Structure 1
Amino acid sequence: MTKRIYSSFMQASRAHAQWEIETSLNIIKSRKKLLILFVMALPLLIPAMAHAASTLPTFIGGKAAFGPSFFSPATFYGSIAVGVIAGLITGCIGAGGGFVITPALMSLGVKGILAVGTDMFHIFAKAIMGTTLHKKMGNVHAGLAIAFLVGSGLGVTGGGAINRALYNFNPIMSDFVISSIYVVLLGFLGIFALGEFISTRKSVPKGEDVHCGPEKMTALGVKLQSMNLAPMIKFDENVVPGGRRISGVFVALCGGVTGLLASILGVGGGFVTFPMFVYGLGISTGTTVGTDIFQIIFTAGYGSIAQYAIYGYVFYTLAMGMLLGSLFGIQIGAITTKVVPGTQIKAFYAIAILAGFINRLFALPEKLTQMGYITLPAASGALITKIGVWLFFGLVSVFGIWIIGTFIVNIPKLRAESAEDNDLEVTKGGVTQ
């Protein structure tokens, strides 16, 4: 069962990654959108670059930390690097790189609540600028989407309230809670990703998509769909004759869980939508993909603005830096997949996830000491945290340098392949005419 849940996590991650790749391509190929991005970024990035040359506060956080003057040089340039790394993971590995963004920002000195709000805003900004939602609309069921968004709205509100309450009560405890949740999540994903890499090396996969979710319903799905609890929603008419029916209450509950975790962690939430929809409610994979991409836009938008931005917990300069960096990283990563062996890609994904796990795990002793729960010399706690930061950025930097280096070395080969593809398209066009 645990492996099936991990498989669903990976399906959600791949679906989100594909959406990010399409979104980024939409932005890059549109001069109008690039101009809008330039106009949006200029008022933030010019002051940021100017201030980054001087000595500024290195500790970031608090309700006034939404302006471009509240940052350090390492944090500003680090945000661009974080965007590049997340983009490379998304483009090259084909799995969402958002899991490393919040831990990376916290490692740069950004308080947890501010990192969460900034990450959600970065997702929303990318979505509204380059959304390719119209391509997925065929798989979005209006009834499921509405019920889900009702629940996710309540969940996001609750998650934002929890994060703000924890921060106002004790900022250190707020960081500790966010870090602890990431330790559990990334530890789970990292261990299974590493196991998948090892098993892939031992055996050759039989089939193109080994992670496809089952269309056959689980026992839980059958039971929930048999319960006649109004309002009932009919769906998947194109999957089974006559379609299936599920109570909107169950869909809203799933939305509530997704919104709560997305708001607390600053992610899209698809990693929990998939197992709940596919294995819990018995909804087909295709419908789940469409609904998940649809909800991410609204969940991230409402969460980042109504739960974080209006309270001063969005760092716009870092969000724009990450957006610019991710656009670059995604393009390089997606192109490099043509010349990078799949086994190596899986290895680097496991390493990136485990690096985030180690990073947040090593930050916990210092937080526990500061809250008075354990006794540890301040210098020792700080050293453990620094080791976690060094390991994290060291590992992801190796990954980034390897991918970019591979891309540069293979530029002639990639150009030749691109020219062949163009010639083939021209030939096909001539034959069609």
Structure 2
Amino acid sequence: MGFFRDFGKLMVEGSRSFARWELDNARVIMGDRRRLALLGLLLVPVIVGSVAFAEEVSQALPGFIGGKEAYGPSYYSLFIFLVSIAVGMGAGLISGCIGAGGGFIIAPALMSAGVKGILAVGTDLFHIFAKAIMGSVLHRKMGNVSVPLAVIFIIGAVIGTTVGAGINRALYDINPVLSDAFITIVYTFMLGFLGFYGMYDYFSAKKGGKAAGPHEGREGAGLTPLAQRLQTVTLPPMVTFDQGIIPGGRKISCWFLILSGALVGMAAGIMGVGGGFLTFPIFVYVLGVSSLTTVGTDIFQIVFTAGYGAITQYAIYGFIFYTLAMGMLLGSLIGIQVGALVTKVVPGITIRGFFALSVMAGFVNRAFALPKKLVAMGWISLDKATASMIDTVGMWLFFVTIGLFGLWVFGAFFMNIKTLKGEA
């Protein structure tokens, strides 16, 4: 139970760190007229194409990506653009209000809406890259970035992203259903772990248990036992970091950095979430990097990892849906701002409960989608109608849960708008 609790705390804190990055980006974009103008220019071809040429473009597209007949791509239309805005807004509301977990629902939501797994992953990665470039706050944090640390970490991240995305593409070439099943299994495991820990954390807090997060007490010089052991290993070449925080700085073998970057990159290549949710716990608790340096380095690596993965591993192979990416970007910018405001008028324990509920909804969605895919590949014996019914139930439970959460957030926002104006 102790390992489960500690690992769960690390994953939740990583998810919160990624949500803070998203909120910071959204505030930069929404607060700058030039960036808003750039967003408008990016959206012009999407909106005009969706309204004026949707039917012509959809007819011109190939029926199936790569000639595979198991699945066909979602076509370019006003409807799919509006769906992408809704998905992005839902993820933004969760990230802004709950402070964690929003990025984890994007790929499951797109897959439930009919987008192929590999296309959902590539598009999500491109959407994160576009957000990182448009709202880059790197210039604010450069004083906290250890360039040698970041560069060596990115080397590992590039290797990991290449491997992760390569696995996705290889499985798709074998069988698109196998590719979807693999991505679904990965998300089922990740969301299941986070969801069950979130439930445990919520009910513990309700009973009056300690509600402190894993980040507590780690802002200063303290190191975990694992980080202390790794930093005593002299395996050249060594990298020095945190010189401005600890006299003389700390040192660690670059090989540990490369391995850590490879893990983050592989998660980004397979899941499409940028890998940002893993960087924080790995840097702080495994490598012993200070929180200040970690935040700057995380921003640095997200830009490069997401950009490299989106462009070289998915875009050039045709696995990015520009319409969806721009719709998600627009929706998330709105949703995350509203969600962040609502946290000022909603009790923290309620937010904690919604975190557990939203992540569990994603877990149920992917777990219920799995039987249908396994039946399609002939791996399990189950009536196709039953498998389809299970998939449909999981899809409705997911969208109803996220939809009700969205209505609740907007309701709380409008009911307390006077209070929020007063605070502003």
Counterparts of 1:105 and 1:220, CA distance in 2 = 38
Is 1:289 aligned to 2:295, yes or no? yes
Q: Structure 1 residues 198, 53: CA separation in 2 closer, same or farther (over 3 Å shift)?
A: farther
Counterparts of 1:64 and 1:74, CA distance in 2 = 25
Q: Structure 1 residues 206, 17: CA separation in 2 closer, same or farther (over 3 Å shift)?
A: closer
What is the CA-CA distance between 1:60 and the residue it aligns to? 8.7
Unaligned runs of 5+ in 1: 419-433
Q: State the partner residue of 2:17.
A: 15
What is the CA-CA distance between 1:328 and the residue it aligns to? 0.8
What is the CA-CA distance between 1:92 and the residue it aligns to? 1.0
| Letter of the 2:147 counterpart | A
| Letter of the 1:142 counterpart | V
What is the CA-CA distance between 1:238 and the residue it aligns to? 3.5
| Letter of the 1:265 counterpart | M
Is 1:138 aligned to 2:150, yes or no? no
Q: Structure 1 residues 321, 279: CA separation in 2 closer, same or farther (over 3 Å shift)?
A: same
Q: State the partner residue of 1:415.
A: 421
Q: State the partner residue of 1:4.
A: 6
Counterparts of 1:42 and 1:350, CA distance in 2 = 37
Q: State the partner residue of 2:395.
A: 389
Contact 2:110 2:120 in 1 (8 A): yes
Spell out, residue by residue over 1:357-414, the C-alpha distance to the aligned partner (whole angstroms, 9 max, x if none). 0000001100000000112222211111111100000000010000001111111222
Is 1:307 aligned to 2:313, yes or no? yes
- Decide which of 375, 382, 388 is 1:376's aligned counterpart: 382
Q: State the partner residue of 2:202.
A: 197
More displaced, 89-98 or 356-365? 89-98
- Decide which of 217, 228, 235 is 1:229's aligned counterpart: 235
| Letter of the 1:12 counterpart | G
Contact 2:51 2:77 in 1 (8 A): no
Q: Secondary structure at the match of 2:382?
A: coil
Q: State the partner residue of 1:37.
A: 39
- Decide which of 124, 137, 140 is 2:129's aligned counterpart: 124
Q: Structure 1 residues 165, 55: CA separation in 2 closer, same or farther (over 3 Å shift)?
A: closer
| Letter of the 2:265 counterpart | G
What is the CA-CA distance between 1:226 and the residue it aligns to? 1.8
What is the CA-CA distance between 1:213 and the residue it aligns to? 6.0
What is the CA-CA distance between 1:73 and the residue it aligns to? 5.7
Q: How does 1:238-257 map to 2 (within 5 A)?
A: 238-257=244-263
Spell out, residue by residue over 1:292-323, the C-alpha distance to the aligned partner (whole angstroms, 9 max, x if none). 22101110011001100111000000101101
Is 1:160 aligned to 2:162, yes or no? no
Q: State the partner residue of 1:425.
A: none
Is 1:87 aligned to 2:89, yes or no? no
Contact 1:139 1:286 in 2 (8 A): yes
Is 1:170 aligned to 2:175, yes or no? yes
Contact 1:141 1:287 in 2 (8 A): yes
What is the CA-CA distance between 1:8 and the residue it aligns to? 2.1
What is the CA-CA distance between 1:14 and the residue it aligns to? 2.0
Aligned length in residues: 415
Q: Structure 1 residues 352, 213: CA separation in 2 closer, same or farther (over 3 Å shift)?
A: farther
Is 1:187 aligned to 2:207, yes or no? no
What is the CA-CA distance between 1:35 and the residue it aligns to? 1.3
Q: Secondary structure at the match of 1:245?
A: strand
What is the CA-CA distance between 1:241 and the residue it aligns to? 3.0
What is the CA-CA distance between 1:114 and the residue it aligns to? 0.2
Spell out, residue by residue over 1:134-165, the C-alpha distance to the aligned partner (whole angstroms, 9 max, x if none). 22222211111011001101111111111111
Counterparts of 1:217 and 1:416, CA distance in 2 = 42
Spell out, residue by residue over 1:261-300, the C-alpha distance to the aligned partner (whole angstroms, 9 max, x if none). 1110001212322333223222222222221221011100
Counterparts of 2:201 and 2:86, CA distance in 1 = 28
Q: Secondary structure at the match of 2:65?
A: coil
Contact 2:13 2:214 in 1 (8 A): no
Q: State the partner residue of 1:358.
A: 364
Q: State the partner residue of 1:424.
A: none
| Letter of the 1:19 counterpart | W
What is the CA-CA distance between 1:51 and the residue it aligns to? 6.0
Counterparts of 1:127 and 1:81, CA distance in 2 = 20
Contact 1:8 1:213 in 2 (8 A): no
Q: Structure 1 residues 414, 271: CA separation in 2 closer, same or farther (over 3 Å shift)?
A: closer
- Decide which of 72, 76, 80 is 2:81's aligned counterpart: 76
Contact 1:61 1:111 in 2 (8 A): no
Counterparts of 2:319 and 2:369, CA distance in 1 = 21
Q: Structure 1 residues 406, 63: CA separation in 2 closer, same or farther (over 3 Å shift)?
A: farther
Q: Secondary structure at the match of 1:272?
A: helix
| Letter of the 1:308 counterpart | Y
What is the CA-CA distance between 1:96 and the residue it aligns to? 4.4
What is the CA-CA distance between 1:195 and the residue it aligns to? 1.3
Spell out, residue by residue over 1:336-372, the C-alpha distance to the aligned partner (whole angstroms, 9 max, x if none). 1111111111111111100000000001100000000
Spell out, residue by residue over 1:238-269, the C-alpha distance to the aligned partner (whole angstroms, 9 max, x if none). 34332211011110111011101111000121
Counterparts of 1:286 and 1:56, CA distance in 2 = 48
What is the CA-CA distance between 1:210 and the residue it aligns to? 6.0
Q: Secondary structure at the match of 2:159?
A: helix
Is 1:62 aligned to 2:65, yes or no? yes
More displaced, 101-110 or 27-36? 27-36
Counterparts of 2:97 and 2:277, CA distance in 1 = 19
Q: Secondary structure at the match of 1:233?
A: strand
**What TM-score do you get using the length of structure 1 for normalisation?**
0.90
Q: State the partner residue of 1:423.
A: none
Unaligned runs of 5+ in 2: none
What is the CA-CA distance between 1:235 and the residue it aligns to? 1.4
Is 1:334 aligned to 2:340, yes or no? yes
What is the CA-CA distance between 1:16 and the residue it aligns to? 1.8
Q: State the partner residue of 2:215.
A: 211
